[in-house]
Amino acid sequence: MHVTATPSPLVAPPRGLPPGLCFRGHQSVTLRTWTRPRRTPLHRSAAITAVQESAAPSLVVPSNEELGLDKTESELYAEFDALLDANTLSFKSGEKVKGHIIQVDQKGAHVDVGGKSAAFVPNVEMALGLVPRSNDLLDAGTSREFVIVRQDHRGDIILSLKRIQLSVAWQRLRQIAESDAAVTGVVAATNRGGLLVDVEGVRGFNPSSQIGIVRRTTNWEELIGRHLQFKILEVDEETGRLMLSHRRVMNEERLETFKAGDVVEGRVMSVKPYGAFIDLGGGSSGLLHISQISSARITAVDRVLSPDDRIKVLVLSQDRDKGRISLCTKKLEPAPGDMLKDPGLVYERAEEMAAQYRAQIAAAEAAARASAEQLDLEVLAAGAGEASPSGLY
């Protein structure tokens, strides 16, 4: 644009002034405008042809079809998704996968497992117990093994660290059950059927019949939160069944205080036609069978013993699985029938007669061992003779 102007005081232009002309006083300003000539499609085509002709002969310009520029946006996205699917791992519930922890926040952890997007471990799947903070268990930048739980409604993969720990816990419980060892558990709750117990992060059940504490002396609600020892009766990971017995632990602890041949003082709890149950103290009891009361014939137990009678008995044997103790007074009699004629004499000489009984048992066991050793020697000698070449003997 070229402008020629002569400054002068500004005055109103006269009416009918043509466009592009301003009037300042008695002098005029003429505006002349210059514009670039427009390029027509013919011009652009000629320019492109000139560039192509000046280019090197080896230069090949790809077509729009080859560049994919003729495809719609939806078609391009579909191709991109297909490429992702072809290069993305497939995941199934229950499978183990190794992942790299990208970020840990208050809700859980974001993990790269090679999928389209990061997988997620919620706090409830962090550990078997209560998780105060995710950072206490997982750190960003580390790698761990996880179990695939499912895909949520958005298609994101949900992972679990707790399920790996749970599998390890079930394996350990099976090993404990096979070794018949005791395991420590925490009583979580009670119901009419027994106790709900947390053992190694697994919820187990202790039936009321397997509680080694008498209910009339202890309220089961008071056991909540207590650490007790249990024996495992049944363990089944597939059904989630874990059966426990506190009673078996208590019985074994009591049985350890009694050995075969010991004399124990007790109280007659009840009398039955087949014998009497004797309270041995400490929650232990045993059965004095009618055949073990006296060497003399007894027709009725209640003619010899009555409830609350104080009595001395000899421990014959123990059944650790059932927690039973077999008792005897017949071996304590100085003479056959003394339990019927003079029970006081039997109790007075109980330790003496028990010592004789233990000596008899020790002698019998020694004779049995010697006999077994002699038999083994004879078998070895017979085997050596059969293996010897003919004519040596």
0.75 surpassed by pTM:
no
The number of helix segments (H) and strand segments (E) in the chain equals 8, 18
What domains are there in the chain, each with its CATH number?
2-32 (no CATH), 96-160 (2.40.50.140), 182-252 (2.40.50.140), 258-356 (2.40.50.140)
Q: What is the pLDDT of residues 9-42, one digit of tens each?
A: 444 555 554 554 444 444 444 444 444 555 555 4
Copy the structure tokens of residue 278: 């004797």
Copy the structure tokens of residue 235: 């363990």
The pLDDT value given to residue 70: 56
Please say whether the beta carbons of 286 and 315 come within 8 A. Answer: yes
The pLDDT value given to residue 2: 44
Q: How far apart are CA 65 and CA 193, in angstroms?
A: 76
Q: What is the pLDDT of residues 170-198, one digit of tens each?
A: 999 999 999 888 999 999 999 988 999 99
Q: What is the pLDDT of residues 330-354, one digit of tens each?
A: 999 999 999 999 999 999 999 999 9
Top pLDDT among 302 and 156 is at: 302
Q: How far apart are CA 72 and CA 210, in angstroms?
A: 73
Please determine, for residue 76, whether its predicted confidence score (pLDDT) is greater than 90. Answer: no
Please say whether the beta carbons of 134 and 109 come within 8 A. Answer: yes
Q: How far apart are CA 316 and CA 331, in angstroms?
A: 10
Top pLDDT among 304 and 134 is at: 304
| Amino acid sitting at position 78 | A
Q: How far apart are CA 181 and CA 386, in angstroms?
A: 46
Q: Label residue 119 by pLDDT band (50, 70, 90).
A: confident
Q: How far apart are CA 198 and CA 361, in angstroms?
A: 45
Q: What is the pLDDT of residues 215-244, one digit of tens each?
A: 555 688 888 999 999 999 999 988 889 999
Report the SS3 class of residue 149: strand
Please say whether the beta carbons of 220 and 207 come within 8 A. Answer: no
Cβ count near 188 (within 10 Å): 14
Q: How far apart are CA 113 and CA 160, in angstroms?
A: 13
**Mean of the per-residue pLDDT values of the chain:** 77
Q: How far apart are CA 56 and CA 47, in angstroms?
A: 16
Length of the chain, in residues: 393
φ, ψ of residue 201 to 5 degrees: the values are: 85, 0
Q: Label residue 387 by pLDDT band (50, 70, 90).
A: low
Contacts of 118 (CB under 8 A, 6+ apart): 102, 110, 111, 112, 156
The pLDDT value given to residue 319: 74
Contacts of 91 (CB under 8 A, 6+ apart): 97, 113, 115, 148, 151, 157
Which of these, 300, 307, 352, 353, lies nearest to 330 by C-alpha position?
353
Report the SS3 class of residue 340: helix
Please give the helix or strand (H or E) that residue 369 lies within, else none: helix 350-387
Q: How far apart are CA 345 and CA 333, in angstroms?
A: 8
Q: Label residue 388 by pLDDT band (50, 70, 90).
A: low
Q: What is the pLDDT of residues 211-223, one digit of tens each?
A: 877 655 568 888 8
Please determine, for residue 3, whether its predicted confidence score (pLDDT) is greater than 60. Answer: no
Q: What DSSP line would sit under 282-307, residue for residue?
A: TTEEEEEEGGGT-SS--S-GGGT--T
